[in-house]
Structure 1
Amino acid sequence: MKIKNISHVFFDLDHTLWDFDKNSALAFQNIFSNRKIDLNLADFLKVYQPINFEYWERYRKDEVTKKALRYGRLKDSFDSLKYTVTDDLIDELAVDYVDLLPANNHLLDGGKDILDYLNKTYQLHIITNGFEEVQHKKLKNAGISDYFSTVTTSEEAGVKKPHPKIFETALNKSAARPENSLMIGDNYEADCTGAKTCGIKSIFFDYYANREKIDVIQIKTLNELKTYL
């Protein structure tokens, strides 16, 4: 069933269009090779991914700074594996990671196809809690920056999703009205609850297949958007 009266579609980026897990793994693969880190990559990622998720949740709630996130997620991961790394090296690895992460450009399955499909009918936009300097590189390197009329980051807005101000900033930039807008993202609280606060409809992308019991449309693949748009 199509959602009516939509002119503007706002996407989250990481875990919604951009394949963060795959691109992150490739970045660490390069780092471990270049820096001679003697750890099994799969073992590291198994520990790192939930730690990184937790740090991003804390960052979203303003419980940690950007600097603390970049350092802490690595420090805690290495500590969990009982692998000794100096603070200076962790700082260097944090810089390496931010430099290498946007160099990889894998999208989630159906990402390019759905953008081609939607771009014919809707104005497309990005709203992301990711870092300003990194997110624009991701879009450019993945070859999808031209699809989006506007890109709004939390650093630009001064607040993070689900704060209403970041959605209001995006609406103002795009000259979009809430009642004609739709938000699509993988974080129910940040993307869907935040959008609802501003009167914006939303679709939850169940990236981790958790089958949440929530009051919004859920999709498991990007291609399912064609059912609603």
Structure 2
Amino acid sequence: MSAPIQMVLFDAGGTLLGTNTDHPRWYEQFFVEACAEQGVEVTPHQVDEALVEAAREINLTHRSSSDEQVRFFWEHMYTWCFRRLLPNRDAHQLACHYIDRFEVGEYVQLFDDALEALELVRCAGLRSGIVSNFGSYLHVFLDKTGITEFFEFVIVSANEGCEKPHPEIFDLAVARAGVPAGQILFVGDNLREDYQAAERHGMFSVLVDRYDLHADKPALRRVKRLSDIAQYLPQ
């Protein structure tokens, strides 16, 4: 760390906020549980196959740079999966039903280590912000989980017209922070969109890897619990 950290920027989904399914393959597990609600038993492997197909059928350079993009992307993914997993149902109607429930925060919850991490940053006298690829409803989630007060600013891709890993959103973050990129600690759970993109922008990155998905990469600055970022904060 070449300069003292002045600000900590957090990703939101997967870093601070999770779902009520505490599972390393939470997205697959969501569809397993949604199908069970509809009276059909499916396996995570079946869901994974459907997700791979859905991702193959859509090729978007930007998927989170507006609320319309966010909704289009998730409606495509959900509809495709339900069409494969529940072939006798109205897949698009089901997709909209579950996305609507997600957007009002029905499934969201704070990771059990998030509040401690935010308090550690505050006690260290550092400022905090969020930079997230998300729909504008992220603010609903932050209010619902009671953490809005911790952040000086919240940059949501759908509101700004740019998204990670593209440099524009990091330029915006540096401008809002008002300090050089080298004095910003960026904390996120996505290797490409958070860790590597922030590093390229001159920030000091830490990867949140709760399920040891990147245990084979010893060169990464990696923590299993969000509160373990304490080791990278000024003493």
| TM-score of the aligned structures, taking structure 1 as reference length | 0.79
Q: Deviations over 1:118-174 (max 9, x none)?
A: 112210110000111x21111110000100111001123312111111011122123
Aligned 1:1-229 pairs, distance under 5 A: 5-20=4-19, 22=21, 37-40=38-41, 43=43, 47=47, 51=51, 55=55, 61-62=61-62, 65-90=69-94, 92-100=96-104, 102-120=105-123, 121-132=125-136, 134-210=137-213, 211-213=215-217, 215-229=219-233
Query: Per the alignment, in what secondary structure is the counterpart of residue 152 of structure 2?
Result: strand
Q: Deviation per CA, 1:67-97, whole angstroms, max 9, x where unpaired?
A: 3322222222223324422255135315423
Conserved? CA contact 1:159–1:165, under 8 Å? yes
- Over the aligned positions, Cα root-mean-square deviation in angstroms equals 3.4
CA–CA separation in structure 1 for the residues paired with 2:112 and 2:39: 32
Unaligned runs of at least 5 residues, structure 1: none
Q: Return closer, same or farther for 1:47/1:85 CA change in 2, 3 Å cut-off.
A: same
Q: CA deviation at 1:190?
A: 0.4
What is the CA-CA distance between 1:180 and the residue it aligns to? 1.0
Question: Per-residue displacement from partner, 1:164-202 (whole Å, max 9, x unpaired)?
Answer: 110111221232321210100011110112112221110
Question: What CA distance in whole angstroms lies between the structure 1 residues aligned with 2:19 and 2:102?
Answer: 12
Pick closer, same or farther for the CA change 1:99–1:195 going to 2, 3 Å: closer
- Say which SS state the counterpart of residue 226 (structure 1) adopts: helix
Q: 2: CA distance between counterparts of 1:69 and 1:220?
A: 29
Unmatched 5+ stretches in structure 2 = none
Does the CA contact (< 8 Å) of 1:19 and 1:107 recur in 2?
A: yes
One-letter amino acid matched to 2:61: K
- The amino acid that maps onto 2:16 is L
One-letter code of the match for 2:122?
A: N
How far apart, in 1, do the equivalents of 2:108 and 2:9 lie? 20
Does the 8 Å contact 1:188/1:204 carry over to 2? Answer: yes
- Alignment partners' CA distance in 1, 2:199 and 2:151: 22
d(CA) in 1 for partners of 2:195 and 2:111? 20
What secondary structure does 1:213 align onto? Answer: coil
Q: Runs of 4 or more off by more than 4 Å in structure 1? A: 23-33, 42-46
Q: 1:21 to 1:190 in 2, by over 3 A?
A: farther
SS in 2 for 1:106: strand
Cα 1:182–1:59 shift into 2, 3 Å: farther
Q: Residues 83, 3 of structure 1: CA spacing in aligned structure 2 closer, same or farther, 3 A cutoff?
A: farther
Q: TM-score, normalised by structure 2?
A: 0.77
Q: How many residues are matched?
A: 220
Residues 17-54 of structure 1, C-alpha deviations (whole Å, 9 max, x = no match): 11136388899899779xx72234x74797279839x8
CA contact 2:206–2:221 (8 Å) conserved in 1: yes
